[in-house]
Every structure is written in structure tokens, then in C-alpha cells.
């Protein structure tokens, strides 16, 4: 029965009872009788309750999440990035299961900047009572107009040059969770980097820089790349969460084929925390990230130096705007949830790159502020739009993943 009709009926019933009471007083009803009446009313109301229905936005997002994450096999649209800064990307893939929780997958991506990616791989999940997952992949990537501005924080935005690289890679990887919140990840693979003349509207890198100002200029190394990470992760999911945190360290070892000329090791440290406020309708999310190379005297190719500036670091700055041997980044977001599948956010980014680890302090930081909207499901963020402002201008960011 609609609430308005029910209320009117109760009022009429109350008037009749009041009239009768004024004509002839009636005894007080017993406590047991009142309890029975209330219980009956509650029982009647419970039979008419309906579960909340998702709105149109939530339906679309949940449909996308199911298609991308839950579809057991067949063709699907692929939403990812060939390489950061590649622009709007279109793609498709095909997945096929050939055993329980084990599938092979192939997908391709193409961006409006002529960036391309093709990858085939296999994943097997849920072993050892859902504690172990493992897999492997083989791929090829072509990024045609990646920006380079020199090294350090004092580079001029007008000194941009473009370079192109093609990367062929293959690896095997595994994730072991002795307990759910303690992931240990390991991988080993081969990477071949071929660098060439940059495309686009900016000069090619070899026309503006030398081997002294762009370390490893002209190099096309092959690396054996191994990685090991461990940490504590109690987020609801990697792709979308309103609570929990990630505290993780990852060690990378790169061994080159050029008589060890480009050998180096790198350590990445991440601290992420999500603090829910007012029953998860407001969330304070913070991140700190440190990337440091461990070999002060080794030559690191310019295209593998730690960098800041893209849709998930210094969002108001051009992709890879700042490069050097060490980097630090801090981000804070104040998020609120106006609808079930929509988040809004105010954010602040700050960071720097340095040639020496001792210079990783809080002076001379580059920063930006902005506002964003995110369309998300229960475990992923298919669309994120951020508008960021910094001292080099305004930048609009479109992404198919959470910022962190």
C-alpha cells in the first residue's frame, strides 16, 4: 500500500476511535495486545518492502564491470593505456577458459597518437585455497611520440623533443598470499627496447639532445628484468575502494646485454591509505610514492629514468615532464559519493625528481590542484575524469583506472 494512502487510513481510523472514546470510555488495551498489533503491522510492512534498485549510471557501470571482469569467455572491449600519454585508446580482446580458473587471453589497443599494443597471456588463479595465482605474457608495444625535456626539475617546457620506442617483452609471474592481506609477488622476464626517431609536432630527440643530456641516447638494450614485492594490502579491491590501505615495497633488477653497461637496480615504495568518513559517504585518500635507483654510478637510459607527470602523478603537467634518477610523489584526495556509482574528488599532487637521493626533501616541489569525477563499480573504475591546474597550465585527464 502506498505510504500516503496508509497514512490517510490511519488518520481516519484514529478519528473513528477518538469519536467512540468520547462517547463511551473504553478500558486501556492490554500490553500484550499492543505488542501483538505492532508485530502484525511490522510483518505486513516487511512483505511490501523491495530491495533498492540501481539507477541508470550504476547499471551501466556494473554492466561494464561484469563484461570486463566476469565474462568467462569470448570477445570483449579492452579499456587500457598503450603507454601513458598515448591519448584516447580503442581496443578489443578475446578470452577463453581451458581449465578451472585458468584462461588464455589476447587483446590489442590502438590510440589516436598511433600508439599500439598487442599482448597474449595466460592466467591461472585460486590455487592452494585461493592463496596462489600465476601466469605469463608476451607482448609488443609501440609508443611513437613520447616527450623528453631533459633531466631534473629546472627543465624548460619549451625544450621538449619526442622519441619513439618499441618494446618487446615476455615474463612469468606469480602472487602468493600466505594470508589474504599479505601479497608476495615475483616475476622474471625479458625486455627489448628499440629507440628511434620521434614522431609528432616536436623535434626528434637526437636533433636537440646528446648522450650527455639524454643518457643512453641511441641505445637499444635488452634486459633480463626480475622483480620481487611484498607488503600489506587490506583494500577492498585494487580498482576501487573506500577503506583500507596498501604498504608495499618492490625491488627491480635490470641486467643488460651490453657488457653490463646499463645494469641497474631500483626500489619502489608505496604507502596508500583510505579513511572512510560519515559511513563511507566521504573518504580521505592519501598516497606517498618513492622511486629510487640503487646504483649511483651506473648509466640508466633516459627512457627508463623515474618520471613524474601523467594522469596519475602530477596531473596538471605533460606526460613524463620531469625525469631523473630518484623521484617522490605525494597525493591527497577528498572524495564524496553523491550517487552509488559516482564519486567526486578534490585533489592535490606534489612531487619532485632529483639526481641524488639525499635531495629527496620537501623543498622546490612541483604541485597541482584539481577536481574530478569517477564512475565506478564495486571493484573497478572504468572511467575517471580529472581537471588539474598547475603553474604550467590546465590539463584534462581521461583514464580507465583509479588514480590509486
178 and 233 assigned to the same domain: yes
DSSP 260-310: TTT-EEEEEEEEEEEEEETTTTEEEEEEEEEEEES-TTS---GGGS-EE-S
24 and 148 assigned to the same domain: no
Span 90-119, pLDDT tens digits: 999 999 999 888 999 999 999 999 999 999
Domain for residue 202, yes or no?
Answer: yes
Q: Does residue 363 surpass a pLDDT of 80?
A: yes
Whole-angstrom CA distances from 70 to 63, 97, 239, 307 are: 10, 12, 14, 34
Instruction: Among 46, 64, 80, identify where a domain stops.
Output: 46
Q: Does residue 138 surpass a pLDDT of 50?
A: yes
Instruction: Give the CATH number for residue 232.
Output: 2.40.160.50
177 and 255 assigned to the same domain: yes
Span 293-326, pLDDT tens digits: 998 888 999 999 999 999 999 999 999 999 999 9
Domain for residue 299, yes or no?
Answer: yes
Span 251-265, pLDDT tens digits: 999 999 878 889 999
Domain for residue 404, yes or no?
Answer: no
279 and 304 assigned to the same domain: yes
134 and 19 assigned to the same domain: no
Find the domain containing 175 and state its range.
56-399
Domain for residue 51, yes or no?
Answer: no
Gap between the Cα atoms of 206 and 183, Å rounded: 43
218 and 119 assigned to the same domain: yes
Gap between the Cα atoms of 186 and 172, Å rounded: 9
288 and 376 assigned to the same domain: yes
- Nearest CA-CA partner of 326 in 268, 250, 255, 254: 268
42 and 164 assigned to the same domain: no
Q: C-alpha grid cell for residue 393?
A: 597550465
Please state the domain count of the chain. 2
Give the DSSP H/E element, type plus range, for residue 193: strand 184-197
Q: Is the pTM of this model over 0.95?
A: no
Amino acid at each position: 500500500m502506498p505510504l500516503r494512502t496508509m497514512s490517510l487510513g490511519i488518520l481516519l481510523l484514529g478519528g473513528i476511535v477518538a469519536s467512540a472514546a468520547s462517547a463511551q470510555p473504553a478500558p486501556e488495551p492490554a500490553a500484550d495486545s499492543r505488542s501483538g498489533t505492532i508485530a502484525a503491522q511490522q510483518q505486513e510492512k516487511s512483505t511490501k518492502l523491495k530491495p533498492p534498485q540501481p539507477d541508470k549510471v550504476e547499471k551501466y557501470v556494473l554492466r561494464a564491470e561484469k563484461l570486463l571482469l566476469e565474462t568467462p569467455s569470448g570477445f570483449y572491449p579492452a579499456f587500457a593505456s598503450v603507454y601513458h600519454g598515448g591519448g584516447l585508446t580503442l581496443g578489443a580482446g578475446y578470452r577463453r577458459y581451458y581449465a578451472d580458473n585458468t584462461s588464455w587471453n589476447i587483446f590489442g589497443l590502438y590510440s589516436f597518437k598511433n600508439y599500439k599494443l598487442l599482448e597474449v597471456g595466460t592466467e591461472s588463479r585460486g590455487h592452494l585455497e585461493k592463496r596462489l595465482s600465476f601466469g605469463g605474457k608476451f607482448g609488443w608495444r609501440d609508443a611513437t611520440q613520447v616527450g623528453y625535456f631533459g633531466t631534473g626539475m629546472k627543465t624548460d617546457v619549451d625544450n621538449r623533443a619526442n622519441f619513439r620506442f618499441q618494446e618487446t617483452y615476455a615474463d612469468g609471474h606469480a602472487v602468493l598470499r600466505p594470508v589474504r592481506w599479505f601479497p608476495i609477488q615475483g616475476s622474471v622476464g625479458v625486455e627489448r627496447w628499440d629507440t628511434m626517431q620521434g614522431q609528432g609536432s616536436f623535434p626528434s630527440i637526437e636533433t636537440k639532445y646528446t648522450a650527455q643530456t639524454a643518457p643512453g641516447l641511441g641505445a637499444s638494450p635488452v634486459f633480463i628484468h626480475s622483480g620481487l614485492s611484498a607488503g600489506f594490502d587490506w583494500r577492498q579491491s585494487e580498482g576501487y575502494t573506500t577503506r583500507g590501505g596498501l604498504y608495499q615495497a618492490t625491488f627491480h633488477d635490470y641486467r643488460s646485454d651490453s657488457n653490463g653497461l646499463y645494469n641497474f637496480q631500483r626500489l619502489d615504495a608505496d604507502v596508500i591509505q583510505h579513511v572512510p568518513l560519515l559511513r563511507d559517504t566521504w573518504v580521505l585518500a592519501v598516497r606517498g610514492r618513492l622511486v629510487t635507483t640503487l646504483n649511483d654510478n651506473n648509466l640508466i637510459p633516459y627512457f627508463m629514468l623515474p618520471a613524474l607527470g601523467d594522469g596519475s602523478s602530477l596531473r596538471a603537467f605533460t606526460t613524463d615532464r620531469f625525469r631523473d634518477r630518484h623521484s617522490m610523489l605525494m597525493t591527497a584526495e577528498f572524495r564524496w559519493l553523491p550517487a552509488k556509482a559516482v564519486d567526486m574528488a578534490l585533489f592535490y599532487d606534489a612531487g619532485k625528481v632529483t639526481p641524488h637521493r639525499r635531495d629527496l626533501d620537501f623543498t622546490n616541489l612541483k604541485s597541482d590542484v584539481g577536481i574530478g569525477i569517477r564512475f565506478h563499480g564495486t571493484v573497478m573504475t572504468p572511467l575517471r575524469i580529472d581537471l588539474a591546474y598547475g603553474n604550467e597550465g590546465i590539463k584534462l585527464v581521461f583514464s580507465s583506472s583509479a588514480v590509486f
